């Protein structure tokens, strides 16, 4: 067993850490308070290859694997989870769905500019009435000539307002249930396709979470992505990889909150000594560090399995996502506690981590749904 990162992976981590510290950190509170989507950052993320981490160079990507992808999301999220989720939704949901299930033509047309960062992607599965039960999708795509007519609305789409390319799931045959849902690729500007309400959120406020609306949106047959009726099934496979990125998002934020609390505990004096001298603080830090380490091991193991194309990925990625997101919530809570009253104040970093981490127990399947997925795998149920 080898738990060490290669020299290249360590260099990648240093590069992204420096980038995040210099280019992102000075702006995070301003972006958070204004709910400002950092579009100005997209060309820089593209230049670093972060918008095509897991795609081969032939498709405009960086030609790296999931381990490197986790390093990237972890380091971005250590500074700002909003940037982490923008990159995650673009890579492992939108672009990866097209890369895994698209035709050669679709891959050339969409994956190349997405991976190069010339275009931004989003992925729309969730609907107002179909969240955890995404098989209950109501958006429809009905045959019209040699194409399709889409009608309906998606909710909570990350990057929804800013994306140039959207992968969306719609019912093509209601009688077939989850085997009657298909995926489509939509492009910004297609008549009848537009973003709707932009959500005003508790956390990750610099990321965009929006409605996506289809009203008599007519697309040609070439916009069907993957086989007809396989969109939902393919989505579940896409989510296996996506959940690793949410684990990485939680891991990075937990690490950021932990580092901030440790630094603060060494400086803050009460009763004539640094609060880090109190065993109560030390025990908190020890528990936080141990849980983060365990979360990191689960997350990188899932990434390693993904790079090997291992069939255990569904269970292991759900475990990584479940555990890491719950650790992140606990760590952010304890970090805020260590900051005391200052943890409640926006001049200090703890409150933002506390708000931002909560998404991790909800997005790409809630903690309850992860437990269902894991239990199904354990019990051999479909």
Ligand X SMILES: Cc1cc2nc3c(=O)[nH]c(=O)nc-3n(C[C@H](O)[C@H](O)[C@H](O)COP(=O)(O)OP(=O)(O)OC[C@H]3O[C@@H](n4cnc5c(N)ncnc54)[C@H](O)[C@@H]3O)c2cc1C
> Residue 24 — φ and ψ, nearest 5°?
-105, -50
Answer for the pair 265, 255: CB distance below 8 angstroms, yes or no: no
| Single residue of 96, 106, 139, 158 touching ligand X by CB under 6 A | 158
| Single residue of 96, 157, 223, 276 touching ligand X by CB under 6 A | 157
Instruction: Kindly report the number of other CB atoms within 10 A of residue 155's CB atom.
Output: 20
Choice between 265 and 328, CB closer to ligand X: 328
> Which residues have C-beta within 8 Å of that of residue 105, sequence separation ≥ 6?
222
Choice between 233 and 362, CB closer to ligand X: 362
In the region spanning residues 193 to 222, those forming contacts with ligand X, defined by CB under 6 A, are 204, 209
Query: Is residue 364 annotated as a catalytic residue, yes or no?
Result: yes
Separation of alpha carbons 153 and 15, rounded Å = 40
3-class DSSP assignment, residue 319:
helix
| Stretch near ligand X under the rule CB under 6 A, chosen from 122-130, 249-257, 304-312, 314-322 | 122-130
> Which residues have C-beta within 8 Å of that of residue 119, sequence separation ≥ 6?
110, 113, 164, 165
Choice between 208 and 261, CB closer to ligand X: 208
Alpha helix positions (H), 20-107: 28-34, 42-47, 66-79, 81-88, 96-101, 104-106
Tokens of 55: 């795609």
CB of 77 to ligand X, least distance (A): 14
**132 counts as binding ligand X under rule CB under 6 A:** yes
| Single residue of 112, 359, 360, 374 touching ligand X by CB under 6 A | 359
Name the pairing type of β-strands 165-171 and 121-124: parallel
3-class DSSP assignment, residue 147:
strand
In the region spanning residues 245 to 274, those forming contacts with ligand X, defined by CB under 6 A, are none
CB of 81 to ligand X, least distance (A): 10
**375 counts as binding ligand X under rule CB under 6 A:** no
| Stretch near ligand X under the rule CB under 6 A, chosen from 9-17, 70-78, 320-328, 364-372 | 364-372
Helix 350-357 and helix 313-338, axial crossing angle in degrees, nearest 10: 150
CB of 258 to ligand X, least distance (A): 23
Identify the active-site residue in 8, 57, 364, 368: 364
| Single residue of 19, 69, 110, 123 touching ligand X by CB under 6 A | 123
Least Cα distance to 180 among 136, 243, 126, 123 occurs for 136
Tokens of 313: 């990925």
Tokens of 169: 């799931």
Separation of alpha carbons 235 and 363, rounded Å = 14
**369 counts as binding ligand X under rule CB under 6 A:** yes
Choice between 274 and 362, CB closer to ligand X: 362
Output the CA angle 291-21-40, nearest 5 degrees.
120
**365 counts as binding ligand X under rule CB under 6 A:** yes
CB of 72 to ligand X, least distance (A): 18
**366 counts as binding ligand X under rule CB under 6 A:** yes
Choice between 96 and 158, CB closer to ligand X: 158
CB of 199 to ligand X, least distance (A): 7
| Single residue of 41, 46, 76, 89 touching ligand X by CB under 6 A | 89
Chain residues in the site for ligand X (CB under 6 A): 89, 123-126, 131-132, 156-158, 204, 209, 359, 362-366, 368-369
Active-site residues, by number, are 364
């Amino acid at each position: 067993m080898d738990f060490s990162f290669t020299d290249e992976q360590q260099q990648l981590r240093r590069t992204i850490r420096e980038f995040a510290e210099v280019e992102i950190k000075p702006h995070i509170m301003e972006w958070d308070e204004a709910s400002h989507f950092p579009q100005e950052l997209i060309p820089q993320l593209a230049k670093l290859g972060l918008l095509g981490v897991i795609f081969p160079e032939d498709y405009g990507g960086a030609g790296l694997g999931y381990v490197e992808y986790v390093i990237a999301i972890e380091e971005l999220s250590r500074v700002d989870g909003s940037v982490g989720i923008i990159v995650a939704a673009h890579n492992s949901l939108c672009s990866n769905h097209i890369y895994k299930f698209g035709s050669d033509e679709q891959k050339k047309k969409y994956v190349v500019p997405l991976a190069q960062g010339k275009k931004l992607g989003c992925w729309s599965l969730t609907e107002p009435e179909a969240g955890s039960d995404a098989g209950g999708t109501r958006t429809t795509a009905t045959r019209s000539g040699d194409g399709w007519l889409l009608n309906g609305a998606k909710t909570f789409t990350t990057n929804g307002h800013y994306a140039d390319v959207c992968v969306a799931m719609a019912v093509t045959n209601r009688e077939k249930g989850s085997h009657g849902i298909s995926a489509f690729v939509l492009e910004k500007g297609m008549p009848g396709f537009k973003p709707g309400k932009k959500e005003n959120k508790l956390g990750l406020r610099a990321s965009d979470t929006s409605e996506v609306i289809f009203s008599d949106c007519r697309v040609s047959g070439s916009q069907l992505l993957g086989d007809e009726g396989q969109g939902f099934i393919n989505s579940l496979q896409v989510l296996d990889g996506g959940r690793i990125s949410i684990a990485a998002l939680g891991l990075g934020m937990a690490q950021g909150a932990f580092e901030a609390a440790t630094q603060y505990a060494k400086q803050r004096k009460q009763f004539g000594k640094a609060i880090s001298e109190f065993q109560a603080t030390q025990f908190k830090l020890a528990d936080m560090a141990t849980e983060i380490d365990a979360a990191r091991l689960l997350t990188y193991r899932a990434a390693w399995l993904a790079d090997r194309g291992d069939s255990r990925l569904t269970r292991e990625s759900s475990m990584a996502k479940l555990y890491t997101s719950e650790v992140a919530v606990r760590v952010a809570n304890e970090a805020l506690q260590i900051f005391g009253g200052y943890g409640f104040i926006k001049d200090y970093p703890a409150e933002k981590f506390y708000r931002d981490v909560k998404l991790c127990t909800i997005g790409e399947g809630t903690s309850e749904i992860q437990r269902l997925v894991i239990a199904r795998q354990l019990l051999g149920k479909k």
